[in-house]
A and B are shown apart, each in its own frame.
Chain A
Amino acid sequence: MFWEFFTFDFKNRFKQPMVYIFFFINFALILSAVLLDDVVVGRGMGNVDINSPYSIMQYAALMSLIAVIMTTAFMNTSALRDYKNKYDQILFTTPLRKFGYLFGRFSSGVLISVIPLLGVFLAIMIAPIFPAAADDKVGALQLAPYINSFFIFILPNTLLVGAIIFALAALFRNTIISFLGALLLLVGYVIAGNMLSNLENEQLAMIFDPFGINPLNLLTKYWTADDKNTMWLTLSGPILWNRLLWIGIAFLIFAFTYFRFSFTRRKSRKKQKVASTSPTMKQSFQPLKALPKVHLKDNISTYFAQFRNQVKLEFFGTIRSAAFIVILVFGILNMLSGISEADSWYGTGNYPVTYVMTSAIRGSLYLFLIIIITYYSGVLVWKERNAKMNEFFDASPFPAWVPLLSKFVALVGITAIVLLVSVLLGIIVQAAKGYTNFELGVYFKELLLIDLAFFTILIALAMLIQVLVNNMYLGFFAFIVFILLNTFIWNTLDVESNLLVFSGTPEHIYSDMSQLMPFVKGLAWYNVYWLLFSALLLVGGVLMWVRGKALSIGDRFRIAKQRFNTRTALVTAILGVLWLGTAGFLYYNAEVLNEYQTREASERQSVDYEKNYKQYEGVAQPRVIAVDYDIQIFPVERNFIANTEVWIKNKHDHPIDSIHFSLPNSFDIAIDLPNSKLVHENRDLNYLIYELGAPLAAGDSMQYSVLSEYITKGIENEVSFQRINQNGTFVSMNSFMPIIGYTAQGELGSNDTRKEYGLPKRDRMQKLETNCTAACRNNYISSDADWVKVKSRISTTTDQIAIAPGTLKKEWEENGRRYFEYELDQPVINFYSFMSADYEVQRTKWGDVDLEVYYHKGHEYNVDKMLKSMENSLSYFSENFLPYPHQQARIIEFPRFASFAQAFPGTMPYSESIGFIANLKEKDAIDGVYYVVAHEMAHQWWAHQVIGAEMQGATLLSETFAQYSALMVMEKEYGKNKMRQFLEYEMDRYLRGRGGEREEEVPLLEVENQAYIHYRKGSVVMYALREYIGEDSLNTALRRFAEKVAYQEPPYTTSLVFMEELEKVTPDSLSYLLDDLFRDIILYSNRTTKATYKALDNGQYEVTFQVEAEKFRADSTGRESAIPFNDFIDIGVYQKAEADEKFGKPLYLERKRIKQKENTFTVVVDELPYEAGIDPRYLLIDRVPDDNMKKVTEE
C-alpha cells in the first residue's frame, strides 16, 4: 500500500512543472551567486574556489533552509491533494491502510522537495565551464562533498521541514496556515539562530541547531582558504548527533500526525449547506422562459471592453496563484536580506538613500522577476489551452489581438505590481532605519520607468517565443537560451551596439548630484527603439496566434495571411516606419556622429600602439616644467574645452631634434608646436612626431599650445566620459593632455591578453634596484614631467563653482559665465584635476591654511567630520614629517560614477558614494570618512612631496605611508581599541586579496601597485612596526627620509632608501622584524586554546591560558612552510567591552619572547577578566585572526 501511494504520487508530481521551475530557480540563483560578484546569496564565500567543498556545504545548508517555502508548496499539495481534487470521497471510503497512505504521501513529498535542491549542486558543478569563472578559482570536481552535503543538510532538513508542514497541512487542511507555518519557521529560526550562536557552550549550540548551520559554521571556523578548498565535513561527531536528533524529531512529528489524522472528513457547516442545495437534486427542466434580448456589438469599443475584461482576468488569476506567491515571497525574502545590509563598508553602513535601495532591489529581486516573466509568459499564452477551454473561447467573435495583447498587458501589470511592492519594501526598510527622505521620483524613474521598460521588452519577446514555438516547455527553454545567448554571444562576436544587443540601452548610474541627466536622452531613445521593436514582435505574435485546433504550420501561415488585413498592414507599416526611423536616427547618432570602440578594437589599438612605437620608449624628450590652462566647462551641453600653454625644457645634456606625443583617447587634440614640422601622424593610434626646425639645446626650454575639446554630440551608444556631466564634472589633466613621448600606460597590461595578441610577457613593474639612475628617471605617476608650475583660468555656468588646483586668485562673472583663476604656490607633480558643480561650501582655517569642503546640498552629514580630520591630519603630519606646502586643502564631492577619493595637490576629489552618505551614528563602527580624509591628506606628503621611482616598492612610499599616517591620526581620535578593529578588517582584506592575486605575491618592499599589499598589508605592517619600535623612532625614520627626498629631481628614490633610514632607528634585537615585515611574506598562526581564571582571596584574579604559535613563510605562489622562530609576541588579558564598544580595556599586556608552539601563561589581574590570549591587537599577520583571544571561564 505504501509503495503504491508512494510511486503513484511521485510519478504524478514529477510531471508537474513546479518541480522544474523550483529546480531552475535554485540553479539560477546559485549559478549567479558563484559566478557574479554582484549577486550574493546568503553571505559571501570569501577567497575560496567557486566549487570548493566549503561552498558546496554552505550553499547546501543555506538553500535547504531557504527552500522551506518550496518544500511547503510540495508538502502541502501532498497532504491536501485528495481533498482538492474531491477524490477524497472515493479514496477514503476504501479500506486502505492509513500508514501506507500517509507515509506514502509523506515520503513522495519529501523526495520531490529534494529534487529542486539538486539544482544547487548542478549550478556549482557546471559553474567552472562558464567564461565568468576565473581559472584560479576553480578546483577539481569531487563527488564526496556533494554526497556528504546531501546527507548532512539537504535530506535531513527537507525531512524535518516536510514533517512539520505535512503535519500542519494534514491537520488544518488550509494552504494559508501551511505557508504561515513555514514563514514562522524561518523567522523563528533566524531569531533562535542568533541566540544559539551567542551560546557560550559551543557543543550545545551545535546540537540544538535544527538545520545544522551552526555546527557547520563552528566546525569550519578555523579553516583557511586552502582548507576550505580541500576539506569537507562528514557525517560524524557532533554533526552526526545533531542530525540523528533532528531526524528523530522529524519522525516524532510524523508519528504525531499519524495518530491525529483521521479519515473522516472535517465537516464544515458551509460544505453541508452546499450539499443540501446541490442543483443536481432539483429538477433541471425549467418552464421555458425567453432569454432577454441583448444587443451584440461589434466595434472597436467592444474590442476594448473584451480586452479590458481579459486583462483583468489574466492579472487577478495570476497574482492569486500559489506559484506566483511562492516565487514572490522567495524573491522578497532574498531582497529583504539584500537591502537591509546594502553597502556596508568597514562595518559602516550608508544612509539608505534611494539609489542604494534601488540597486539593492536590482541585485536581489530581478532574477526572480525574470523567472516570473519566463514562467507566466508561457502560462498565460497557454492559459486557455491548459484549461481546455480554448475551443469555445477561440470561437468567440473577438479580434485576434485581444488575447495576446491582454496577456501581454496583464504580465506587464504583474511586473509593475512586483516592482511597486519592492518600492514599498524599500520605503519600509528606509523608514525602519530612520531615514525619511523617500525619493519617490527616483524609485519611479529607476524601477517603474527604466526597468519596467526593460521588462516590457522582455515580456513581448517571451510571449512571441511562446506563440511561435507553440509548446510551453520548449518555449521556456527557447526563451532562456535566447536570454543566455543575448548575454554572452555579443561579447564573443565583439558587438556592442545597443541597436543589436536585444533590449540594449546605454548603461546608467544614478547620482544624487547629476541624477540621471547624462543618460536621459540615450535611455529614452533606445527604449523607444526597443519598445517599437517589441510592438512589432507583438504584431507578429498576433498574426501567428494560435486560434483553433490541430493547425499545421501551413494553416498558421494561411491564417496569419488572412489576419494581415489592411488595418493590420497599416499598423505594421506605421510601427515599422517609426522603428526604422528610430533605428536610422540612433545609427546616425551612435555610429556616424559619434563613434565607439569595441573591446577588441581598443585592445587592437593598444597592441598596434606598442608594436609601432615601443621603439621610441626612452628616446630623449624634453620635460614639462610649467603649464597654463584656460578651461571652459559647459555642464548642460556636457562640453569641455581647454586651451593650454605648456613650457618644456631639455633636461638632457644633448640637443633634442624631435618631439613625440601620445594623445589621449577621448578628446580631440590640436597641438601648435612653433617652428616645427609634423613628420608622423597616426590619429588612430594617437601618436604624433614633430621635427623641430632648430634642435632644442641642452638646458633650453620652449613653449607650445594644445587645444583639447570634448564636445558631446547627439546620442551615444554608451554615454562616454561621464566625468563631464550636468552637475559634478571631474576631469583629470591626463585625460585631456598629450603625454610627451611613448608611454607604457598605452600598452596592454594583462599578460593573458598580451599572449592572445602575440606580445611578450611584461613585468608589472621594474625590478627593485639599488642606486638606480636611468631606471629611476620617472616617478610612478608622470613620465614626462618632474615638478611643474601650474596656473589655471577656468569658467563654468553661473550656478556652479569651478575648481582647479592652487590658490584662488580672482573670481568674476562675464557674459553669463563664471570665471575663476587659480595658481599653485608650489611646483607639483604633473597630476591634478578640474571640477565644476553646484556646490555648497563649508570652510574653516587651520593656521593660515584654508580648509574647504565642497559638497552637494543634502550631503552635509559628515562634512564637519571631514574638516576635523583635515585639521588633525595637518597637525600630526606637519609636526612629525614636513610642513604643509599649500595655502589650502579642499575636499570636493563628485558623482558616484567612480567610488574613490584621490589626492591632487591641495585638492581631494571624493566620491559621493564613499562617505558623504555614510551613517556614522553607530558608535561601534569604524569612522571610514575620518580615515579616508586622513589618508588623502597624508598623500599631500606621501606622493605629492615624496614620490618613488616607477619601480617595485613605489606605492610603499605613498599608499602604505598614507595608511600609516591615517592610522596615527585615527588612533589619536578614536583610541587603540578602534585600531584593533580596523586592523582586523585590513588583515581580513589582505588575506582575501592574496587569494585573488593573478600573478604573484611579493614582499611589501617590492610591492607592484597591488592594493591588497600596499593598503591592507601596509596598514598592519606599519602599525606593528610602530608598536614594536615606537612611534617616535618610526616617525623619525619617516621624517629623515622625507627631508632627504622630498621634491627631488630624477633619479627618484626607492623603498630601499627608506629601509636604510628604518634600520638606523631599529634596535638590533628587532632587526629580524624588518625582514619579516618588509622583505618576506610571513604569516603566523596564533591561537588561544584554553583560558580560565580564578578569583584570589585578595580580590585579584589569576588567569591561566594556553596559546599556540606557529610561523610560516609564504613563497610567491602562496605556498606556506612552517619556520622556526624566536619572536616577540604580545600576551594579554582584557576586560569585557563597554556596551557600545567592540573591545574591552586591557588588564594585562606584555610582550614576550615566544619560541615554541605551545605555551602556557599565568598572570594576576586586578579586575574581572573577560578574554585572554596571544597577540590581542592583531599586530602580526595571522592566517586565522579571530581565534587569538578566548573568553575566560571560571576554573
Chain B
Amino acid sequence: MQLQIQNLSKTYANGVKALNDVTLSIPTGMFGLLGPNGAGKSTLMRTIASLQEPDSGSVHLGDLDVLKEKHEVRKVLGYLPQEFGVYPKVSAQDLLSHMAVLKGVTNKSERKDLIAALLERVNLYEVRKKAVSGFSGGMRQRFGIAQALIGEPKLIIVDEPTAGLDPGERNRFYNLLSEIGENVIVILSTHIVQDVRELCSNMAIINHGDLLYSGKPSDAIQQLENMIWEKAIEKSEMEQYEAQYQVISSKLVSGRPVIHIVSASDPGNGFRAVEADLEDVFFTQVMGEVNIE
C-alpha cells in the first residue's frame, strides 16, 4: 500500500501558497517530510489526515480517496498533530480510553488491555491517573503517540513531534517511533534534518509549498558527492563569501563561522572537501537557486 499525492495545491485566503502542485508517493516505512518552518508541511499533513480541504489535486491511500472517503481514512489513521492540548482535568487513562472508543474499540476488556499496553509502551503507566493537562512536554508527546497508535493504524502522521523536547526526551520519542511496524506508512514532518537522517528510509523536502526533492536520503546525499566544501572564516568576511560562492549554510564553531558551499569543482581558497550529509542536501534544496546536476 502506498500513499499517492497528485497535484495537490492550496492557497490560503491571505494569499499564502501553502502547497503548489505537489505530487508525491509515499511507500510504507518511515517517511521524512523535511522543510523549514512555514514550508507547508502541516498543511500537507492535515490534508492527508482529512482535516483540511485542498484547492485542487487528490490524495489516495491505496484504493481510498482520502479527500472523499474521509471516514474510511480516519479508521486507519493515527495522527499526532504539531501542537496539541487535552481536555482539562482528564486523566491519561480516561482520555486514552475515550479516544479508543472514538476509534471504534468498543469492547470494554479489549480496550482496557490495549490502554494498559499502550501506557506501558509509552511509559506513562504509573501516571495513568494523573491529568494529561499537567504533563510535561515530553510526557504529553508520548501520550500523543499512544493515542495515535490506537487500533493498529495503517497510516501514522506525526507532525513536528520533537519540537521543544530536550535531547533525552527526543531520543525516547524516536525509540517509540522506530518500534512501529514495517508495513505501516509513517510520515514524520520536521524541520530538523537529524530526525530524518536517523529514522527515515524515504524523504521529501518542501519549501514555500513546492516539492523540492523526494527520494531516499542516501540518494540525495549521493547527488551532492564531492560538491560540498567547507571553510572557517571571520564574521566580517561573510558578505564577501556569500557574494562569491553558493553558500548553503554557516554555523559557529568555537565562535567562528564555518561555511559550507556547493561547487562542482574545487573552489580552492582554503576550502576543503567534506562528505555531504543530509543537512547539506536540505540547505542546498532550500536555498533553491543551487543547481545540482
User: Which residues of chain A have a CB within 8 Å of any CB of chain B?
Assistant: 86, 274, 277-280, 282-286, 288-289, 291-292, 294-298, 301-302, 305-306, 309-310, 313, 317, 320, 383-384, 387-389, 391-399, 402, 547-552, 555, 558-559, 562
The answer on a CB contact under 8 Å between A547 and B105 is no
User: Given contacts A289-B120, A550-B12, A558-B53, is CB(A392)–CB(B81) below 8 Å?
Assistant: yes
Task: Show 15 residue pairs from A and B whose CB-CB distance is below 8 angstroms, ordered by the A residue.
Answer: A274-B130, A277-B126, A282-B123, A292-B114, A294-B111, A295-B110, A298-B104, A320-B89, A384-B87, A388-B85, A392-B147, A395-B51, A396-B99, A548-B51, A549-B52
**Given the complex, which residues of B lie within 8 Å of A396, measured CB to CB?**
74, 99, 102-103
User: Which residues of chain B have a CB within 8 Å of any CB of chain A?
Assistant: 12-13, 43, 46, 49-53, 68, 70-72, 74-75, 77, 79-81, 83-90, 98-107, 110-111, 113-114, 117-118, 120-124, 126-127, 130, 133-134, 136, 138-139, 142, 144, 147-149, 151-152, 169, 172, 175-176, 179
Q: Which of B130, B138, B148, B179 contacts A392 (CB 8 A)?
A: B148
The answer on a CB contact under 8 Å between A552 and B13 is yes
Q: Which of B77, B118, B130 contacts A395 (CB 8 A)?
A: B77
**Given the complex, which residues of A lie within 8 Å of B99, measured CB to CB?**
392-393, 396
The answer on a CB contact under 8 Å between B68 and A398 is no
User: Given contacts A279-B123, A289-B121, A391-B84, is CB(A294)–CB(B110) below 8 Å?
Assistant: yes
**Given the complex, which residues of B lie within 8 Å of A282, measured CB to CB?**
123
Across the two chains, which residue of chain A brings its CB closest to B147? Answer: A392
Additional pairs, 18, CB under 8 Å, beyond known A285-B172, A548-B52? A279-B124, A279-B127, A280-B169, A284-B176, A292-B117, A294-B152, A296-B152, A297-B106, A297-B107, A298-B75, A387-B85, A387-B133, A391-B84, A392-B144, A395-B49, A395-B77, A549-B51, A552-B13
The answer on a CB contact under 8 Å between B105 and A294 is yes
The answer on a CB contact under 8 Å between B49 and A279 is no
**Given the complex, which residues of A lie within 8 Å of B144, measured CB to CB?**
392
The answer on a CB contact under 8 Å between B53 and A559 is yes
Closest CB-CB distance, A563 to chain B, in whole Å?
9
Cα-based distance from A279 to B168 in the complex (angstroms): 13
The answer on a CB contact under 8 Å between B71 and A291 is no
The answer on a CB contact under 8 Å between A397 and B75 is yes
The answer on a CB contact under 8 Å between B172 and A295 is no
Q: Which of A389, A397, A558 contacts B71 (CB 8 A)?
A: A397
Q: Which of B53, B84, B133, B151 contacts A551 (CB 8 A)?
A: B53
**Given the complex, which residues of B lie within 8 Å of A284, measured CB to CB?**
122-123, 142, 172, 175-176
**Given the complex, which residues of B lie within 8 Å of A398, measured CB to CB?**
102
Leading 4 A-B pairs by shortest Cβ distance: A388-B85, A284-B172, A548-B51, A391-B81
Closest CB-CB distance, B133 to chain A, in whole Å?
8
The answer on a CB contact under 8 Å between A548 and B46 is yes
User: Given contacts A86-B134, A397-B104, is CB(A387)–CB(B88) below 8 Å?
Assistant: yes
Closest CB-CB distance, A80 to chain B, in whole Å?
15
Across the two chains, which residue of chain B brings its CB closest to A296? Answer: B104
Cα-based distance from A289 to B86 in the complex (angstroms): 27
Closest CB-CB distance, A859 to chain B, in whole Å?
51
The answer on a CB contact under 8 Å between A562 and B68 is yes
The answer on a CB contact under 8 Å between A389 and B86 is yes
Among A317, A393, A395, the most chain B Cβ lie within 10 Å of the Cβ of: A395
Q: Which of A283, A294, A399, A555 contacts B53 (CB 8 A)?
A: A555
The answer on a CB contact under 8 Å between A389 and B104 is no
**Given the complex, which residues of B lie within 8 Å of A313, measured CB to CB?**
87, 90, 98
Q: Which of A291, A301, A394 contacts B51 (CB 8 A)?
A: A394
Interface majority SS (helix, strand, loop, mixed), chain A: loop
Cα-based distance from A286 to B179 in the complex (angstroms): 10
Count A/B pairs, Cβ under 8 Å: 159
Across the two chains, which residue of chain B brings its CB closest to A384? Answer: B87
Cα-based distance from A559 to B99 in the complex (angstroms): 23
Closest CB-CB distance, B173 to chain A, in whole Å?
8
Across the two chains, which residue of chain A brings its CB closest to B100? Answer: A294
Cα-based distance from A876 to B133 in the complex (angstroms): 81
Closest CB-CB distance, A555 to chain B, in whole Å?
4
Across the two chains, which residue of chain A brings its CB closest to B77? Answer: A395
**Given the complex, which residues of B lie within 8 Å of A399, measured CB to CB?**
71
Cα-based distance from A1051 to B235 in the complex (angstroms): 119
**Given the complex, which residues of A lie within 8 Å of B81, measured CB to CB?**
391-392
Across the two chains, which residue of chain B brings its CB closest to A290? Answer: B117
Cα-based distance from A549 to B45 in the complex (angstroms): 11
**Given the complex, which residues of A lie within 8 Å of B46, measured CB to CB?**
391, 548-550
Across the two chains, which residue of chain A brings its CB closest to B138? Answer: A280
User: Given contacts A86-B134, A280-B138, A292-B110, is CB(A393)–CB(B102) below 8 Å?
Assistant: yes
The answer on a CB contact under 8 Å between A383 and B87 is yes
Q: Which of B53, B86, B142 contacts A548 (CB 8 A)?
A: B53
The answer on a CB contact under 8 Å between B106 and A301 is yes
The answer on a CB contact under 8 Å between A317 and B53 is no
User: Given contacts A317-B89, A548-B51, A558-B53, is CB(A395)–CB(B123) below 8 Å?
Assistant: no
**Given the complex, which residues of A lie within 8 Å of B13, measured CB to CB?**
552
Closest CB-CB distance, A1111 to chain B, in whole Å?
69
The answer on a CB contact under 8 Å between B104 and A291 is no
User: Given contacts A279-B127, A396-B99, is CB(A296)–CB(B105) below 8 Å?
Assistant: yes
Cα-based distance from A278 to B103 in the complex (angstroms): 29
Cα-based distance from A389 to B75 in the complex (angstroms): 18
Cα-based distance from A395 to B87 in the complex (angstroms): 16
Cα-based distance from A443 to B245 in the complex (angstroms): 86
User: Given contacts A296-B103, A309-B98, is CB(A389)–CB(B87) below 8 Å?
Assistant: yes
User: Given contacts A277-B126, A317-B89, is CB(A392)–CB(B114) below 8 Å?
Assistant: no
Cα-based distance from A310 to B100 in the complex (angstroms): 12
**Given the complex, which residues of A lie within 8 Å of B127, measured CB to CB?**
278-279
Across the two chains, which residue of chain B brings its CB closest to A548? Answer: B51
**Given the complex, which residues of B lie within 8 Å of A548, measured CB to CB?**
46, 50-53
Cα-based distance from A449 to B15 in the complex (angstroms): 52
Among A86, A320, A391, A548, the most chain B Cβ lie within 10 Å of the Cβ of: A391
Cα-based distance from A286 to B172 in the complex (angstroms): 10
Across the two chains, which residue of chain B brings its CB closest to A547? Answer: B51
**Given the complex, which residues of B lie within 8 Å of A392, measured CB to CB?**
79-81, 84, 99, 144, 147-148
Cα-based distance from A551 to B111 in the complex (angstroms): 33
Across the two chains, which residue of chain B brings its CB closest to A314? Answer: B87
**Given the complex, which residues of B lie within 8 Å of A387, measured CB to CB?**
85-88, 133
Closest CB-CB distance, B273 to chain A, in whole Å?
38
Cα-based distance from A741 to B130 in the complex (angstroms): 85
Cα-based distance from A66 to B52 in the complex (angstroms): 48
**Given the complex, which residues of A lie within 8 Å of B104, measured CB to CB?**
296-298, 302, 397
